[in-house]
Structure 1
Amino acid sequence: MESNNVQIHVEDEDRLSKLPDDILLDILGKGNMNTCIRASFLSARWRHLPSLLSHISLDISDFVISDDSFLNPTVVDEAMACMTKVARISLAVSGRKRTMKAVSLRVVLTSNYLCDICFFNATTTLFRHLSRLFLYNARFDELQMDRLLNSCEQLQHLELDNCDTGDEPVLKTNIPNSKISYLKLCSCLFEKVEFLCLPKLSELHYELSYSLNTPFSLGIVPCLEEVRLVCKMASYQSGYNLSELLHGTKEIHALTLDFEGEKVWMLPEGQKLHSLFQNLSKLFIHGIYAKFGLSWTITVLEAAPFIKTFGIKVCDHVCTEKNRRLYAKRINPWQKNNKLNSSRHLNLTRLEFGGFMAVKKHLQFVRAVMDYASSLETILLEDKDPCEYCDEVNSNRPILRQVPSFQKINASKK
């Protein structure tokens, strides 16, 4: 009887092994590359399959136990070594011709892997087919960055997190043949980035650095349509002029400004904003300190006559108060420019309000927008975003009943 059970079990295994490569590849493609490589060693039938995958995703987080592990350089080095081995196996040449369609890479470059030639040589094929690249904790000069990006012929999505250029204060990107359409820079220590030529760039997310001067400049970016700028002003910074940051752009349709609950760093510029906003169809102002007024945002809105979607988000994080000394005093240079033009009617069709509470100030703002936007069709009200750190601070306070997210209200007027 036991012999029969073993025979049935073996037959079941053989039945799985007899599946065609395309089905087995689809099964392997559901997991991460680390899991795929481990699975391939369980059966000789599966051994060659990782090298046939058309979509490869290598993520450093799949090789560590938790996010806290990134604080340990030894653990990160071991994870990078393991990841490099997986890259070699997954990119090994097989007997069957391979069509690689997309590659995603997320790495942390510590001292042992900082611009490591062995790492990049081991993944030459990967970089040639790379479509998505995430770099963390990397230091490179302009030449190294150009070499990397020029070798990524199919790169469309690039994210840099906590990167810097060492002793060189300015990073210049001049890649006429680049296919990069999405670029995000977060917590980077560049004094300035000059985007000289990125012809396919359509979406830019930039967390503004603690720079005393204009943190970036735009050159040839004819396809740029969506921009998100985030900044928590340090105590030694004064503010930025949007006309300088976005100088040379003509096709921006969606703009998000995020103050992260701190000082409003966008300075009033009068008619310059009218020229800058002339093609905007979506404008979002996020991270407005909860104690600031809101009517000033409508005066900003008046500078954009063709906006259809307008969103604000109020920020009230008690968890950040202990670090207040690091940031500038909370002031709003627009607070004195909150007189509305009663003769101008807004063309809004949609209003979004994040962090909404049923308090007088918020209700008056919604009513003011309704009065100025005769074409308004939809209003979306959203409770504030959850924050576990704020929850810890408020752990001894009574829990307030939360308003359901995104309640929909008809914006009809009587």
Structure 2
Amino acid sequence: MNLNRVGCQLRDLREIDRPIKLPDDVLLNIVERMSTLDAIRTCIISKETLKLLTMLSQIIIVIGTTELLRINGVVADVTSMILRTRAPQIPIRNLKLKFILRGDDHLKIGRSVALAMVTQEIDVAEFEILTNKGSYDCTRADLLFFATQFKAFIGECPDAFGGLTRLHLQNLRFGESDIPNILITCKRLESLHFFLCDAGPRSVLSVEHARLIELDITHGYFSTVELKYLPKLQRMSYNNWHYAKNPLVLGFVPQLSELGLANAYVNTDRTIRISQLLINGSLIRSMYLDFRSGKIWVQPECQKLLAPVLGNLRLVNLDNLPEECDIAWTLFFLEAAPSLEELCIIVWDHKCHIDSRQSYSKKTDLKWEPSTADFKHKNLAKLTIHGFESNDSFTRYVTHVMKAAVNIRVVSLHDKKVCKHCTGKFSHVKVRPSSYPQTDEEKDLLSRKITGSLVATSHAVIQFRPSCYYSPPVMEIL
């Protein structure tokens, strides 16, 4: 939708009067299901429906970055108009705004939201704040400038930030005390996302907040992120840290149940020990580790060390393991997590993820031996492998899991993923041929090979799936 056209239509409203023969509550129900900009376009067709704009309980203005670059000022004007003219006795269930730190646009949005925070009830409020320069083009000076600009913004509109429940920030390099001060100001905050935000190289981020439920950090030159006091935190993810030491230190996080870590390259032989990482995270139920087709940076550990921290683990997803790495090491999760219900492994040399600094020699082929030959697991119900090959390494692995997991029901074996971007950009790079079974006869033969050594008849269904075509998401980063 063209917001300039909306502005013209609003100015010419007196010339528009198309009668609509529907009750207000029905019309309001219809427009509430639309995006806010579509709701505006709908309501301006009649004087009767224009009043519906003052009754909206959901205000969502989120448009693509390219369009936002062009009409960021119009977004600010429309936001201000809606919030100034709506009926204050009607609570706002959901306020979600995406805008750029540019000129006075963000201040206009902030002031109108601050007024609404003081005069109206707002259940959920979210800012997604972009900068006027692309993340991958930002210099150190740019990061410092944008952070200064943001600090002035939050200082000018503390009531707006005080009522936020979700905040997305990018391309900001703060001073040492700035992020703690932001968290103090955003006292209602439940979800915080940082992209390329930090307090300088090798800075330590200590996070304390009484209400934060979700924290997501991508890039940023923190040496460590300390989750110091977060009594309600449930979900944490940290992607692409830059230093060799443990990326996280868990303090008081009694509700943390989902943890995601992703990294393509760690320039050291050091590995992360989960027994140390999760020393205060024994309630973790879901763990996602993405190796970005690079080095395996997790150290397999024995059951004795891991059992105290993995006792509640239900789901493990190990993504983008390098293709030449034997996946037998992943069995240490099965042995150490008695409540595990689902294990998903994706083996893939995804070229989009491989750092130019990496060499295949730096990818670690980890060795691990089970602590007991007759180990049994009673809760695993599903094993999924993407990038499965018809070789002894994979077939032995699946057989081993089916022997150990006495109640397993589904074994889902997929061909390797195919990335359309990789296929075009890296067409000159030789791709390892797949030995995935193609015909029904090959699949049946492989199934019998896997189950042939099982002492008892397994109730598990072995499923063969075709390759999954993957298109990299378009990052909404200027």
Count residues in correspondence.
385
Cα contact 1:63–1:79 (8 A) shared by 2: no
CA RMSD of aligned residues (A): 3.7
Alpha carbons of structure 1 residues 391 and 265: separation in structure 2 relative to 1, 3 Å: same
Alpha carbons of structure 1 residues 247 and 106: separation in structure 2 relative to 1, 3 Å: same
User: Are 1:158 and 2:192 an aligned pair?
Assistant: yes
Alpha carbons of structure 1 residues 349 and 230: separation in structure 2 relative to 1, 3 Å: same
Q: Match of 1:254?
A: 286
Q: Match of 2:164?
A: 130
**Cα distance between partner residues in 1 of 2:178 and 2:315:** 37
The alignment partner of 1:306 has SS state of: coil
Q: Match of 2:56?
A: 53
- Structure 1: which amino acid aligns with 2:199? T
**Cα distance between partner residues in 2 of 1:38 and 1:237:** 58
Q: Match of 1:64?
A: 66
Q: Match of 1:149?
A: 183
- Structure 1: which amino acid aligns with 2:20? R
Among 200, 206, 214, the residue aligned to 2:246: 214
Q: Which runs of 5+ in 1 are unaligned?
A: 1-9, 66-74
Q: Match of 1:99?
A: 91
**Cα distance between partner residues in 2 of 1:334 and 1:303:** 17
Alpha carbons of structure 1 residues 15 and 234: separation in structure 2 relative to 1, 3 Å: same
Alpha carbons of structure 1 residues 84 and 240: separation in structure 2 relative to 1, 3 Å: farther
User: Are 1:245 and 2:277 an aligned pair?
Assistant: yes
Among 13, 24, 40, the residue aligned to 2:18: 13
Q: Match of 1:295?
A: 328
User: Are 1:108 and 2:130 an aligned pair?
Assistant: yes
Q: How does 1:277-356 map to 2 (within 5 A)?
A: 277-319=310-352, 323-326=355-358, 329-332=361-364, 334-335=366-367, 337-339=368-370, 341-347=372-378, 348-356=380-388
TM-score (norm 1): 0.78
Query: 1:397 Cα deviation (Å)?
Result: 8.9
**Cα distance between partner residues in 2 of 1:378 and 1:169:** 45
Alpha carbons of structure 1 residues 384 and 174: separation in structure 2 relative to 1, 3 Å: same
Alpha carbons of structure 1 residues 52 and 15: separation in structure 2 relative to 1, 3 Å: closer
**Cα distance between partner residues in 2 of 1:402 and 1:185:** 40
Cα contact 1:310–1:351 (8 A) shared by 2: yes
Query: 1:232 Cα deviation (Å)?
Result: 1.3
Once the two structures are superposed, residues 35-62 of structure 1 have per-residue CA deviations (whole angstroms, 9 ceiling, x without a partner) of 5556666655555655543233343x43
> Which range is displaced more, 366-375 or 93-102?
93-102
Query: 1:377 Cα deviation (Å)?
Result: 1.3
Once the two structures are superposed, residues 64-92 of structure 1 have per-residue CA deviations (whole angstroms, 9 ceiling, x without a partner) of 24xxxxxxxxx85x655444434323332
Query: 1:169 Cα deviation (Å)?
Result: 0.8
> Which range is displaced more, 257-266 or 47-56?
47-56
User: Are 1:267 and 2:299 an aligned pair?
Assistant: yes
The alignment partner of 1:413 has SS state of: coil
The alignment partner of 1:296 has SS state of: helix
Once the two structures are superposed, residues 270-312 of structure 1 have per-residue CA deviations (whole angstroms, 9 ceiling, x without a partner) of 3322322222222222221111112221133212223222221
Query: 1:107 Cα deviation (Å)?
Result: 1.8
Query: 1:15 Cα deviation (Å)?
Result: 1.0
**Cα distance between partner residues in 2 of 1:217 and 1:139:** 21
- Structure 2: which amino acid aligns with 1:413? S
User: Are 1:89 and 2:67 an aligned pair?
Assistant: no
**Cα distance between partner residues in 2 of 1:262 and 1:397:** 17
> Which range is displaced more, 182-191 or 161-170?
161-170
Alpha carbons of structure 1 residues 282 and 40: separation in structure 2 relative to 1, 3 Å: same
Query: 1:265 Cα deviation (Å)?
Result: 0.2
Q: Match of 1:413?
A: 458
The alignment partner of 2:318 has SS state of: strand
Q: Match of 1:373?
A: 405
Q: Match of 2:120?
A: none
**Cα distance between partner residues in 2 of 1:168 and 1:262:** 23
- Structure 1: which amino acid aligns with 2:150? D
Query: 1:33 Cα deviation (Å)?
Result: 4.1
The alignment partner of 2:401 has SS state of: helix
Cα contact 2:173–2:198 (8 A) shared by 1: yes
Percent sequence identity is 23
**Cα distance between partner residues in 2 of 1:332 and 1:287:** 14
The alignment partner of 2:197 has SS state of: coil
Once the two structures are superposed, residues 95-120 of structure 1 have per-residue CA deviations (whole angstroms, 9 ceiling, x without a partner) of 44130222332221346764436744
The alignment partner of 2:287 has SS state of: strand
Query: 1:396 Cα deviation (Å)?
Result: 10
Among 251, 258, 267, the residue aligned to 1:235: 267
Q: Match of 1:193?
A: 225
- Structure 2: which amino acid aligns with 1:165? A
The alignment partner of 1:239 has SS state of: coil
Q: Match of 1:173?
A: 207
